[in-house]
Amino acid sequence: MNQTAVLHTGFGLMILVGFAVSDPTVRIAAFSLGAVLFVAGIVAARRGDDGSAEPSS
């Protein structure tokens, strides 16, 4: 699995955890962490394999 897939899988898991828990503090923390992982996955995908900021073609 590549880094982008791992980050987006983490996003999905955090959203599921957010829906599964009943404590509002834990729910907000899970959703927040999920949002961070989602954005990190997008950034990792846009950077490409060579580490440049340009999307790979």
- 1 or 25, greater pLDDT: 25
What confidence category does residue 26 fall into, taking pLDDT thresholds of 50, 70 and 90? very high
* pLDDT of res. 49: 56
Phi-psi region of 21 (alpha: psi -120 to 50; beta: other; left: phi over 0): beta
CB neighbours (10 Å) of residue 46? 13
pTM of the model: 0.75
* Residue 41 identity: G
pLDDT beyond 80 at 16? yes
